[in-house]
Structure 1
Amino acid sequence: MSIEMNRTAIVTGGSRGIGRAVVRRLAEQGYAVVVGYAGNADEAAAAVKEAEAAGAQAVAYRADVADETAVAGMFAEAESRFGGVDAVVNAAGRMTLARVEDIDLDEMDALHRTNIRGAFVVAREAARRVRPGGSITLFSTSVVGTAFPTYGAYAASKGAVEALTMVLAKEMRGRDVNVNTVAPGPTATELFLEGKSDELVTRLAKSNPLERLAEPRDIAEVAAFLATPAGHWVNGQVVRANGGMV
């Protein structure tokens, strides 16, 4: 049942993984959705069809989150097509795993361009355009706390996002817009599973008291809640959605 009427969401990274699950969940809640994607037009089109099947209006928009011109165009598309922007979920991200002594600095720069610059570009545009009563939701990772080896560059990039969260929430004073960050634990997405052995995946699944990996839907429920009136009083927080992993 729809709980939101005439409201619009932008979801970056919306063609796959957690972002795509967020698109579906917001569509189920009645949001019109702009599916932001970096390159895979077929997957983005499929995400649009899933949103439409849930009864929502949806459109795909190609935008590199680190490109301020492209991101501004995506917001302008949302305003032109659907009348405004009420929820922004920045689920776009990149992951590179390596020990600090082995990190390829070009790969690290590319990761930080997406995860840090991209988060700031999307947050900046959202801060300028989100309507009163709206929400801005960013993404981090629980690895910021667990500090697994080989995650140094990735965790550092997401630590920057966490540092931004409360600052932006305070800067939005008087606008009636909440700002939060969701920090998932191990989640069964293509990005997470790539290159991991079955043994490692099993060990990580057992690392929380619920003894399983999250499904993208589990994380989408948290992000979607923060975008609703029911979640509006949660503000300036980093929500570690990880099944109790420490």
Structure 2
Amino acid sequence: MDKINKLRDIWDSISKVVNEQIDLSQKELINRYMDVFHFGEYFYVIFNTRTTEMEYVSPNVENIFSYTPDDFYLQVVMNNIHPEDLPYYYHYEQSAVRFFSGLEGDLFFKYKFAYDYRLKTREGSYKRVQQQIVPIYYFPKGGVRTLGIFTDLTHLNITGVPKLSFIGMQGAPSYYNVHQNDEFMQSLNVFSKKEQEILGFVVQGLTSEAIAQKVERSIHTIRNHRKHILEKSGCENVQELLVKAVREGWV
């Protein structure tokens, strides 16, 4: 319980000044946000920081971690985070509370935050997951209900310390690699709007031909976009681009 109590202490500082809420059903919330998370196998949860309970866990958790939805809860997560990654987990949750507490009221629902870490499966092996969190309801007396998406990144062979980013939605600016700074530094847009769209399709594994059909552009145009995306990202190949795009919150 010490690990849970440490998180409770962090979440006790969640803002109590949010007056407007997202008035959508769970199905509508999933439909709104889920289309941006398809770069690996994933499952999602609805989590309540006031009760520290997962109010819903999608069935695909069993395919990734071999836990049934009923057997996957916060204490299981905390007990199975890689010991080297646990300090980052606490620090990034604390950073998220600080970040959201500093937002203007109209921005509370325009951000998600994401960080990766290693989590042990029921069989005992570690998988690297990215955890993306979208606040969907702030309780008047403090605390928040969130949509959390756990995406399996193991196939990307990511190594190194976990990374944290705050990704702006609906036109809000983003803050990448927050773990490298003491302050939240707004990030410049790396890609044009069209390049961002193409990058999303690349991360999903679509070929240039499939992307061309999807956006109704010539294959030559799509290949040019992909070339420019690689140049702007500083990556030498698509695999390196996938890793960087996922970890730095470009998608």
Tell me the TM-score normalized by structure 1: 0.27
> Counting helix residues as a fraction of each chain, which structure ranks higher?
1
Higher-Rg member (1/2): 2
> Counting strand residues as a fraction of each chain, which structure ranks higher?
2
